[in-house]
Chains A and B, each alone.
Chain A
């Protein structure tokens, strides 16, 4: 159902662009696409607090800007704290009548390094305090902006410049941190995963997050051809394969209740996803099998949560 919707429904989206073209992202950057879709979903009445990273560096070389909405960048690890400040600032100024009453959505925007590693403390603090904001993590699974170094969100086996495939180690030796589960553990009203290869699903989730009172966390898988060593024209396909193989399932956690958005009677083998990416090309059959086992297990666990609801 959702797949059919995706084929046609994107044409119904607003023609307006709030993340303007002309920015400097790489060819085939799905992160830029994700940000563009997030902006389309939210419209103009937003304020974005952005972390240092690819999306910041491609969009704001002074005196240029790609942002048609208010956009604020100050550092790497504090996006959630800055967004907290913006949210409370707006709230108190409206209460005191210094700016007109109006719904303005505060958005924190950071990559996987800025979220799962260095920004985790600030994010946890902001989620715990329950600010009314949306935190969007665009996850391209490594520090791409500084030259493809591993993060805690880099998948097992992936070769990066700091988890290289060498003679004794075969790339990243740890499993990807489950940020959505960490966010959900804060008992916030809304957590979702999304991928720009499923644009309508992504947009619906962002809109839902904006409507919800309280903190919302959206984790978006963002294919990075530069870092994943994949062909730029395969970014959308790779995003789909991530979902279809169960590597990156699309689901929501609403007030603690898990809901798997797209389920497949049979997942595609992860080999189909892995073989299109140079970062995995050193993997042996055994390692691929190990990853397959883990992915299948995690997916089954998620399906069980979906059945149980929590």
Chain B
């Protein structure tokens, strides 16, 4: 029987990295990611894990070390936040272009300036197009589970992509939650050692990282794009296999009381749990509301999102980042997913909870109220930053 214990989510993440038999860990400290690397250092220092741990001199090098080690065939891990992710952004594109299945946990934090260590999704959105498989998880259990899921998925020869687990900084990283730990034997069965398709070794010399002239670049990039889109069935398959092992089944898009709802809240990340409390309350008041939570961010689950939302009259999409000069990035994606259908719901977009500002159940209710009135009055594609003092 799996053990259910209370632990900080960052500790659970580190324990998962240990249980996943990671070979190389390379990271640089940044709040709020620090507890993960601290605990991993302890684990390695105590000999509880046979891995090479390097606390390097920058995030750029952390990712570069992972790229080098992964290219030799070693299972590699890093984690970061905000400015650290910005510094390693260059290398994230290269890791996916070279098809190296590294795992990175991003404890999401606001990008400077002004400097702020608190949580939102501006860091993740900065590297949205980096070509990794990317999810936003909702709680500590999902963080722990997705370490195993990510390696099994990324290392699959039909996938071969690096994976990012986005978890909200502080809100998840520093919170103690009950985590159901999986027995090691089960994990070893679910996640066998990495068998790389290509690896750097003198016995079979290969050139990795050649440059492409315009005559071949587009073909190379299309191959990557097709491969990432085609990984969707594999993602579903791995989630299914994991569900069969643990009873916890994950979906690209999850719904809560959404089937018959006229108004749907759309969220990503840990605020989904708070939003569900608001939904319960509004339902008690007899309102026709529901919740759609996007877990898989890349490849974007267009079909799943449409299935979950097309019946509704209106969507209230909550973004936790701003594409300055445009709107929220999740809303852009949702609108794009729905645009091909004539009978599509209106999309009202709120940016809320940036830089760790609390979004309470009553805030969700207020946003739904506002959106319903605005749409009723004809302003069908509203966009605003919620709760700003003016």
A complexed with B: yes
The answer to whether B211 touches A62, judged by C-beta atoms less than 8 angstroms apart, is yes
Give the docked Cα–Cα distance between A102 and B203 (Å).
Answer: 11
Question: In the complex, how many angstroms separate the beta carbon of B102 from the nearest chain A beta carbon?
Answer: 10
Question: In the complex, how many angstroms separate the beta carbon of B378 from the nearest chain A beta carbon?
Answer: 51
Given contacts A81-B68, A82-B67, A84-B54, contact A99 B209 (CB under 8 A): no
The answer to whether B206 touches A92, judged by C-beta atoms less than 8 angstroms apart, is no
Give residues 95-130 of A contacting B (CB, 8 Å).
95-96, 98-99, 102, 104, 121-122, 124-126, 128-129
Q: Does B207 contact A (CB under 8 A)?
A: yes
User: Digit string of A117-146 for contact with B (CB within 8 Å is 1, else 0)?
Assistant: 000011011101100000000000000000
The answer to whether A46 touches B202, judged by C-beta atoms less than 8 angstroms apart, is yes
Question: In the complex, how many angstroms separate the beta carbon of A306 from the nearest chain B beta carbon?
Answer: 32
Give residues 29-77 of B contacting A (CB, 8 Å).
50-52, 54, 56-58, 60-61, 64-74, 76
Contact residues on A (Cβ < 8 Å of other chain), bracket = 35 or more
Q: Does B201 contact A (CB under 8 A)?
A: yes
The answer to whether B211 touches A61, judged by C-beta atoms less than 8 angstroms apart, is yes
Q: Which of B212-220, B232-240, B291-299, B358-366 contacts A (4 or more CB under 8 A)?
A: B212-220
The answer to whether A86 touches B202, judged by C-beta atoms less than 8 angstroms apart, is no
The answer to whether A60 touches B207, judged by C-beta atoms less than 8 angstroms apart, is yes
Give the docked Cα–Cα distance between A49 and B61 (Å).
Answer: 14
Contacts of B67 in A (CB 8 A): 74, 82, 85
Of A67, A77, A82, A102, the contact of B207 (CB 8 Å cutoff) = A67
Question: In the complex, how many angstroms separate the beta carbon of A43 from the nearest chain B beta carbon?
Answer: 9
Question: From A62, which residue of chain B is reached at the shortest CB distance?
Answer: B210
The answer to whether A73 touches B210, judged by C-beta atoms less than 8 angstroms apart, is yes
Q: Does A57 contact B (CB under 8 A)?
A: yes
Contacts of B61 in A (CB 8 A): 78, 80-81, 84, 121-122, 125-126
Q: Does B205 contact A (CB under 8 A)?
A: yes
The answer to whether A85 touches B65, judged by C-beta atoms less than 8 angstroms apart, is yes
Give the docked Cα–Cα distance between A82 and B210 (Å).
Answer: 15
Q: Does B125 contact A (CB under 8 A)?
A: no
The answer to whether A129 touches B69, judged by C-beta atoms less than 8 angstroms apart, is no
Give the docked Cα–Cα distance between A87 and B71 (Å).
Answer: 11
Question: In the complex, how many angstroms separate the beta carbon of A202 from the nearest chain B beta carbon?
Answer: 22
Question: From A72, which residue of chain B is reached at the shortest CB distance?
Answer: B208
Given contacts A78-B91, A89-B72, A121-B57, contact A68 B64 (CB under 8 A): no
Question: From A73, which residue of chain B is reached at the shortest CB distance?
Answer: B209
Most buried by B among A46, A50, A85: A85
Contacts of A88 in B (CB 8 A): 24, 52, 54, 65, 68-69, 74
Q: Does B178 contact A (CB under 8 A)?
A: no
Q: Beyond the given A60-B209, A125-B56, please list 16 additional residue pairs across the A-B interface where CB-CB is below 8 A.
A: A61-B211, A61-B212, A62-B213, A62-B220, A72-B207, A74-B64, A75-B64, A81-B64, A82-B68, A83-B68, A85-B24, A89-B52, A90-B72, A93-B74, A99-B201, A125-B57
The chain B residues found within 8 Å of chain A, CB to CB, are 23-24, 26, 50-52, 54, 56-58, 60-61, 64-74, 76, 90-91, 94, 98, 193, 200-202, 204-213, 216, 220
The chain A residues found within 8 Å of chain B, CB to CB, are 44-47, 49-50, 56-57, 60-65, 67-75, 77-78, 80-93, 95-96, 98-99, 102, 104, 121-122, 124-126, 128-129
29 contacts between A and B (CB under 8 A): A45-B202, A60-B207, A62-B216, A69-B205, A70-B201, A70-B202, A74-B91, A74-B98, A78-B91, A81-B64, A82-B64, A82-B65, A82-B68, A84-B54, A84-B64, A85-B24, A86-B71, A88-B52, A89-B72, A91-B52, A93-B74, A96-B23, A99-B73, A121-B57, A121-B61, A122-B57, A122-B64, A125-B58, A129-B56
